[in-house]
Structure 1
Amino acid sequence: MVLVSGLRKNVGDTTFYMHSYATTEYTWANIAGKKDLGFNIFQMFLQQLSDDPQVLIFVVSLITNVLVFINLYKYSKLFEISIYVYITSGMFLTSMNGVRQFLAAAIIFAATKYIFNGDWKRYMLVVILAAQVHQSALILIPIYFIVRRKAWSWSTTALLSLAILIVIGFNQFSSVLFSVLDSSQYGEYKNFSEGGANILRVVVNGIPILLAYLGRHKLRSLFPKSDYIVNMCLLGFVFMIISTQNWIFARFIFYFGLYIPLLMSWIVHLFVKRERKLIYYSILFFYFIYYFYENVISLMMNYQSDYIKF
């Protein structure tokens, strides 16, 4: 998977990063005062090893996916299901689109243990580090205190209600939000007009949460810290609902979507033993159908590489 991701030459903004790396000389003088300083420093040191932009893509893919795999391995009930859902839910492809932001998401995902342990100081340090790669990571600072609650409490109802209200009054909400962001690097998003996210993505993100709700008592007994995972997934679902009005809000799913593969690995064991095999293979089947529709039919993805040929 690292080879497939790291040896690509297209998908999303990959070509932009490759072009920028090949045509820009990253020095202390050039990067001083620029946004996302950490990623520029990373590129500066990488250029000392090679000017080949494929090296940038490969190293970022290596770091991103290894961080994701390690965390899935540590907390999954069924590791193979987590990896499968990571691919077929579209998160693996997403890691190739939005290179910096997904790297930041992977760094923060690796700090999940600090959420579980309630170690907010170390978690904040990791978030600040990730913010040097992509500034949007700072949203995880207040998120920490939101997810450190019992799932399905009043806060859950409040979050979902807020999402629905934002959708209903989206024009007013977006006007206020983008006026606040106008002077930042994200102010340009106010002119973003590529429509909303596919409603099917909202449904696919919502089903694991619905199953977790139906089996919430058993899930909590199997995995006492599952509340934090469920809350992360709920926040991702909220952003997906809002993104039906403007696709750019789906970008925040980078930080929450990685918890869906974790949650799905525990869903199988919420069912009685005689039904688990059916649920297991149902996950394989339906996620495959979704992945095929989303990437082959809808997005018509065409993977290109100078090294991997089919």
Structure 2
Amino acid sequence: MTFKSDIWLLLWIGLVALVAYAAKLKKKETVLGQETERYSLLFAIITFLPVFLFVSVGEIRSDIWLYLSSFDRLSMSINEVFQNWWTNKDPGFTLIEVIIKQIFGNNRDAFRIVFALMQSIPLVLVYRKYSVDYVLSVFLFITMGYYSGWMMNGLRQFLAACIIFAATPLLIKKKIVPTVFIILLAMTIHTSAMMMIPIALVVWFEPWKKGILISFIVFVVALFVFVNTTDMLNEEILKYDDGANPIRIVISAIPVVIAFVGRKKIESANNPLINICVNMSVFTMLTFFVATFTNGVGTGRLPIYTGLFNLILIPYLAKNVFDEKISKNIKLFFVIFYIAYFFYSMFTGAQ
């Protein structure tokens, strides 16, 4: 099915890209100890604003209906949330709902706006600071369907993912204890965030080396066992979810393959953020693999946690891994490929 608002989002990011290129809006900043160029925070907000509006006040899609219905029925007080904290499933999410209801009443618009803000703020801040091409990152966010497939269709889980994504600066600095604390906080929103605890302990390993390769193998085996021995992911809201589309394996494999081909330059640069992003990209591909070849229910949404890092990695690969001529061709390939994927997803409903 074709949605006009989706087309407008694509046209908007195209216009922003043209303006950014023509006006040369980047300014010098120091990121990870190196002088580089970044867009202003105001420009970053304006670029992402239509996505936020789409999710917060646009047409209601997917399982957002179930979240709104649950919000309507919610009758707990803040005290009751804390009294039942250890018995209530995902109490952090319930607490946010109750606070919204206490302040705004049974207002569905307030529910959507607050959660869209909580998702959008970490995305804008992290991508603006760490992506070498913020506009391309937002373009990928749109063309890969994150705005509807995750921000609306997986609202609760995506909020947990955004909370963890906000901890990127801690992860870069290898501050494991506070990073794990934030993951535990995200688990009160959605228990599947627990997947990120073991990943956080190994993701900063140097890509393609023995340590991380062993971690990949252990991860796949553990995830297969977990999926086949627990019903934790089979929640009511996912009962009609048939898991990951096999094409997602191909999509997620593209940055992995390019990163492997350009591994010598990545190794030479030894950028701690990019090392993390490469490993996250492999974890994303492996999770889609498991989701496709198991029952898939709920598992197909697990890559949401690691997939956000691909939107930092892909612009970096397009700019830094090969010589200037090849880099331009790779960026053009990414733009054409993901626009094609955007329309494929729109007309087939593939996620």
Flag whether TM exceeds 0.5 (same fold): yes
Q: Can you give the 5+ residue segments of structure 1 that lack an aligned partner in the other structure?
A: 302-310
TM-score, normalised to structure 1, is 0.85
Taking the aligned partners of 1:97 and 1:193, their CA distance within structure 2 comes to 12
User: C-alpha displacement at 1:283, in angstroms?
Assistant: 1.3
1:283 and 2:330 aligned: no
2:98 to 44, 62, 66: 44
The residue that corresponds to 1:198 in the other structure is: 245
Contact persistence 2:141–2:311 (CA under 8 A): yes
Point out the more displaced range, 221-230 or 284-293.
Answer: 221-230
User: C-alpha displacement at 1:64, in angstroms?
Assistant: 0.3
Letter of the aligned partner of 2:67 in structure 1?
Y
Point out the more displaced range, 209-218 or 91-100.
Answer: 91-100
Secondary structure of 1:118's counterpart equals: coil
1:235 to 275, 280, 283: 283
User: C-alpha displacement at 1:281, in angstroms?
Assistant: 2.0
Letter of the aligned partner of 2:95 in structure 1?
I
The residue that corresponds to 1:24 in the other structure is: 74
Taking the aligned partners of 2:317 and 2:288, their CA distance within structure 1 comes to 21
Secondary structure of 1:68's counterpart equals: helix
Considering only aligned residues, what root-mean-square deviation do their CA atoms show, in Å? 2.5
Alpha carbons of 1:279 and 1:300: their partners in 2 closer, same or farther (altered >3 Å)? closer
1:293 and 2:341 aligned: no
The residue that corresponds to 1:147 in the other structure is: 203
Taking the aligned partners of 2:95 and 2:75, their CA distance within structure 1 comes to 11
Point out the more displaced range, 155-164 or 71-80.
Answer: 155-164
Taking the aligned partners of 1:10 and 1:203, their CA distance within structure 2 comes to 29
1:116 and 2:166 aligned: no
Taking the aligned partners of 1:108 and 1:58, their CA distance within structure 2 comes to 20
Residues 74-95 of structure 1, C-alpha deviations (whole Å, 9 max, x = no match): 1111111111111112222222
User: C-alpha displacement at 1:198, in angstroms?
Assistant: 2.0
Contact persistence 1:178–1:187 (CA under 8 A): no
Contact persistence 2:119–2:159 (CA under 8 A): yes
Alpha carbons of 1:112 and 1:54: their partners in 2 closer, same or farther (altered >3 Å)? same
Letter of the aligned partner of 1:13 in structure 2?
D
User: C-alpha displacement at 1:122, in angstroms?
Assistant: 1.2
Alpha carbons of 1:258 and 1:35: their partners in 2 closer, same or farther (altered >3 Å)? same
1:72 and 2:144 aligned: no
Point out the more displaced range, 100-109 or 66-75.
Answer: 66-75
Letter of the aligned partner of 1:98 in structure 2?
G
Contact persistence 1:219–1:266 (CA under 8 A): no
The residue that corresponds to 1:308 in the other structure is: none
State the 4+ residue runs in structure 1 displaced beyond 6 angstroms.
163-166
Alpha carbons of 1:96 and 1:116: their partners in 2 closer, same or farther (altered >3 Å)? same
Contact persistence 2:90–2:187 (CA under 8 A): yes
Contact persistence 1:159–1:238 (CA under 8 A): no
The residue that corresponds to 1:305 in the other structure is: none
Residues 183-207 of structure 1, C-alpha deviations (whole Å, 9 max, x = no match): xx54658x96854522211111101
Secondary structure of 1:49's counterpart equals: helix
Point out the more displaced range, 270-279 or 225-234.
Answer: 270-279
User: C-alpha displacement at 1:69, in angstroms?
Assistant: 1.5
Alpha carbons of 1:221 and 1:24: their partners in 2 closer, same or farther (altered >3 Å)? same
1:266 to 307, 316, 329: 316
Letter of the aligned partner of 2:330 in structure 1?
I
1:217 and 2:268 aligned: no
Contact persistence 2:170–2:176 (CA under 8 A): yes
Alpha carbons of 1:202 and 1:187: their partners in 2 closer, same or farther (altered >3 Å)? closer
1:207 to 254, 257, 278: 254
Contact persistence 2:127–2:312 (CA under 8 A): yes
Contact persistence 2:161–2:304 (CA under 8 A): yes
Alpha carbons of 1:131 and 1:160: their partners in 2 closer, same or farther (altered >3 Å)? closer
Contact persistence 2:122–2:162 (CA under 8 A): yes
Point out the more displaced range, 10-19 or 107-116.
Answer: 10-19
Taking the aligned partners of 2:270 and 2:140, their CA distance within structure 1 comes to 19
Q: Can you give the 5+ residue segments of structure 2 that lack an aligned partner in the other structure?
A: 1-50
TM-score, normalised to structure 2, is 0.75
Letter of the aligned partner of 2:264 in structure 1?
H
Contact persistence 2:144–2:338 (CA under 8 A): yes
Secondary structure of 1:271's counterpart equals: coil
Secondary structure of 2:312's counterpart equals: helix
User: C-alpha displacement at 1:9, in angstroms?
Assistant: 4.7
Percent identical among aligned pairs is 26
User: C-alpha displacement at 1:29, in angstroms?
Assistant: 5.8
User: C-alpha displacement at 1:115, in angstroms?
Assistant: 1.2
1:88 and 2:143 aligned: yes
The residue that corresponds to 2:21 in the other structure is: none
